[in-house]
Amino acid sequence: MISQLESLKKFSSVVADTGDIDSIQKFSPDDCTTNPSLIFKAVQSNKYKKLFDEVLANSKSRKFNQLNDQVDYIADQLAIAFGIQLTKIVPGYVSTEVDSDLSFNTEATVEKAKQIINSYEQSGVPRNRILIKIAGTWEGIQAVKKLEAEGISCNCTLIFSITQAVACAEAGAFLISPFVGRILDWFKANSSKDYDATNDPGVESVEKIYNYFKKYNYNTIVMAASFRNKEEIINLAGCDKLTISPSLLEELNKSEGELDQKLSQNQSSQIDIDRINVNESSFRWHLNENQMASFKLAEGIRLFNKDLLKLKETIREQL
């Protein structure tokens, strides 16, 4: 009998949410997405010591004004080095994230994104294989708008609300990553209500975004992310893309059975959804009024930055 993973691939493009090369080879996803937390975790593994040492050694042939500049350079090059390896395994896109501490600086985000793309191109990886991951702040979304206009495709991440999602789509984002599990985490922590597969607020959020995009013919791809259990994934079968951790990929791979398609373009067109107008003031107001989204966006940026700082400390120790 067919596995649930193979069945899922009939309805959605499966993306590996990991920097672990062995896991990606095992599950044959279409794309791969990483973030500072995943890169830090991969660097901690002895499996990638050779890659880490090579990046370190290459940095020593360059001149830097101070140690921090060298550390920043190595951190960027590590993410790119992993990305280069991942492009050799997956046939589609690899996402590489801009530093979280730039999330509220449009121009610095644009500059960093161009540096990342240039590094990939100098290594022989064309820009059409790379997605630049940028947090879904107002400033980040404006950076996405500028980058997309210059032919640099972006993955707008840490999406927790329909307002964020629509702003990204209107900015021309190639792809957005609405988070499922982190939304569920917040509601479990802040409500006495019991949640299960039938009323998961993270799943409902992605359903709303997907249906809105399809109804109003946005080209932006919806890639649901941050899953806490297999049922969340199954209930979003049909979403454009699903980025899944190795542990949940393994669980789906070991489970047998045909899945039902839960989301579809035809179904979305029949749903009555009001049009949303988004400008800077309405974006900031709606995010302010959405306690979950404003908290989880800020928390996500902090957590990614925390792991980036850990990675940089590891590099500093090696130097």
Looking at residue 277, its amino acid is N
Both tokens of residue 47?
Answer: 């499996």
Task: Report d(CA 136, CA 178) in Å as an integer.
Answer: 10
> Which is the catalytic residue, given 9, 26, 41, 133?
133
Is 145 an active-site residue? Answer: no
Task: Give catalytic residue positions.
Answer: 133
